[in-house]
Structures are given as C-alpha cells and as structure tokens.
Amino acid sequence: MKVAIYVRVSTTKQEGRNQELQLINYCKTKGYEIKNTYSDVISGKETSRPAFDSLFKDARMRKFDLVLFWALDRFSRSGTLYTLQKLKELENLGIKWESYTEPYFSSIGEFKDVILSIMSTLAKMEREKISQRTKAGLAASKKRHLVGKRGTDKKQRRKRSDVGVKRGVNISKGN
C-alpha cells in the first residue's frame, strides 16, 4: 500500500520528527511504501496549511492509497464539520486514512463517523481553551507592563523601562 504521512506541530518549539519517525517505523512493520511525508509547523485550526494543501493536491492525483497521521488533533483542530469534510474528501477519492495513536480512527470501521464527530469537537474545544489561556496570559502581562518578550527577568525589564524613560516613552501607554 502506498502511504502519505502527515505530520503537524503548532510551534517551532515542538518536535515533529518524533511523530514522523514512529509513523515511518509503523509503515515498515506493516510493509507500506511511503510515497511522501508532508509536514506543517502551524496551528491545526488553520484551514490553509502548506503541507496539508499539498497533501490534498497529491491525493486528487491519486499518488497514494492511505493517509497516515499521528492523531486526529494533528490532522485538524478546525471542528467537526471541516474535519469530517476533509476525511470524507479522501474517502471519495478512494484514499483511506488512519490515526496512528487512535486505532479506532480509520476509514474502516462501523463507528468511525460517531467517534470522529466527538473527537473533532473535543479537538476544537481544546484549541479554544488554548486560545483563552493565551489571551488571559497576554492580558495579565499587559497589566503588569510586560508586553513583548516573555520570561525575561526583572533586571532586564527594569533596564528596558529605564531606556524608555530616558527617551520620553510612556511604556504603560504602549507608546
């Protein structure tokens, strides 16, 4: 079977290579032929992702028989409808799909639609929680006048503050 591997991480601080290596090993044990690996470093909520878009372009040209991804939330965090549409698009092209860490998620299985609806909703909810936590953290930083680089020590913040005062910049107003 010809396989396309899809790997996604949200930030450059995350390591997509770990996902990829395990998926490659899985393909070897199954005797699958890896046609291509598609890798994105972008949020799963984005509906336009370079490697993801390329994967679907190649799918339309029938370059592989199966899309293998680490987990459903690595495939998409854009909600139930979008996720189901993309997986259904693969099925309509005659291409199977499989989640490595969630073996109950595959294009073969009688409960796939029910489970997919629930899991893609949970993935979207998790994305929304992450967004809320990020916004809360930024708001707290803004209140403490720490907007900008995160995690710098008090000495560095004081130094930047002193430079701003010398230049006549009101840091609290964001000038």
Residues designated as active site: 10
Return the structure tokens found at 57: 């372009």
CB 172 within 8 A of CB 145: yes
Q: How far apart are CA 20 and CA 168, in angstroms?
A: 51
Q: Which residues contact 79 (CB under 8 A, 6 or more apart)?
A: 120, 121, 124
First-to-final CA distance of the chain: 59
